[in-house]
Structure 1
Amino acid sequence: MADESTQSIVVDAPPAEIMAVIADFPAYPEWANAVKQTEVLEDGPDGRANQVRFTLDAGPFKDVYTLAYDWADDGLSVSWTLVKGQMQRSQNGRYLLTPDGDSTRVTYTLAVQLAVPMIGLFRRKAEKMIMDIALKELKRRAEGS
C-alpha cells in the first residue's frame, strides 16, 4: 500500500473554470511541464474522459501510464486510479475543489507505488515536489484562462 500525500493551494478562479482545466487533457502538454503527451482513450457519457494515457518525463522519472477517472456529479472533485503503467504499480489521486469567496481551494491527494524500490525519504520528497509543481502549474493555467 502506498502512503498518501496531500497538498492544497488557493486559486483565484471559480471551481468550474478549474475543473475545465483539469478535464482538458489534450492541453496538458501546454502547461504541465512534465507531461509530454496525452491521449484520451475513452470518453464517458458526459463527454469527459474516462481513460487517459500520459507520457511523462520528469527528469529521472519517465513513464507511460493510463489512468481511469471518476468525475463527481457536483463538479467539485475528480478521482483517478492507475489502469497500467511502466514504472508504477499503483496510483490513486484526487482533486477536491472547495469554493472560498471568489477563489477556490484546490486539494490534491496522491498515493503512488513504484514498480522499482525507492527509499521512503526520497519517494516522499519526489511526491512533494511533483504535487507542488502540479498545483502551481494548475493555478497558473486556471488564473490565466
Structure 2
Amino acid sequence: MADSTQSTIDIAADAATVLDTIADFDAYPEWATQVKSAKVLSEDELGWPEQVEFTLDAAPIRDTYVLEYDWDVTQDGTGSVSWHLVRSDLLKGLDGTYSITGSGDTTSVTYKLAVALKMPLIGALRNKAERTIIDTALAGLKKRAEG
C-alpha cells in the first residue's frame, strides 16, 4: 500500500473475540461511527464475508462502496484481514489490513489504510481522513471487543 496510514492498539480480549468483532459487519454501525450501514453481499467457501457494501460518512469522504476481503487467519484468531475496493462513486482505491497478534487475553491490532479519491485532494487532508477513520475504528473495535 503506497502512501498509507497505520496505527496499533492493544485490546484486553483474546484474538478470536477481536476477529469475531471484525467479521460481524452487521454490527459495524454500532461501533464504527463513520459506518452508517454494512451489508454482506457474499461469503467465501468457509463462510467468511467476501464482499461487503458500506455506506460511509467520514468527512470529507462520504460514499457507498463495496470491499472484497481476504481472511488469512488461524483458528486462534491471529493473522490478517485485508480488503480492497471493488466499486465506488467517490473512491478509486481503498486498501486496508487489520494485523492481529497476541496471546491469551491481550491482542494487538495494527490497522493500515490507503485511500485514493477520484477527485484531487491535498495529501494532508487525505492523511487526516485516513487517520480519523483508523483512530475511530480502532477505538470502537477495542470498546466493542472488550465489552
How would you bin the TM-score normalised by the shorter chain? over 0.9
- Comparing 119-128 with 15-24, which one deviates more in the overlay? 119-128
Which residue number in structure 2 is paired with residue 46 of structure 1? Answer: 46
Aligned residue-pair number: 144
CA shift at 1:2, angstroms?
4.6
Q: What is the RMSD computed on CA atoms of the aligned residues?
A: 1.4
2:23 matches 1:20: no
Which residue number in structure 2 is paired with residue 30 of structure 1? Answer: 30
Which residue number in structure 2 is paired with residue 99 of structure 1? Answer: 102
CA contact (8 A) 1:2 1:113 kept: no
Aligned to 2:47, what secondary structure does the other structure show? coil
Give the TM-score of the pair, scaled to structure 1: 0.93
Identity of aligned residues (%): 50
Q: d(CA) in 2 for partners of 1:45 and 1:80?
A: 17
Structure 2's unaligned 5+ residue stretches are none
Structure 1's unaligned 5+ residue stretches are none
CA contact (8 A) 2:39 2:54 kept: yes
CA contact (8 A) 1:11 1:103 kept: yes
Structure 2 letter corresponding to 1:3: D
1:127 to 125, 130, 141: 130
Q: d(CA) in 2 for partners of 1:40 and 1:46?
A: 14
CA shift at 1:100, angstroms?
4.8
Which residue number in structure 1 is paired with residue 63 of structure 2? Answer: 63
Give the TM-score of the pair, scaled to structure 2: 0.92
4+ residue segments displaced more than 6 Å = none
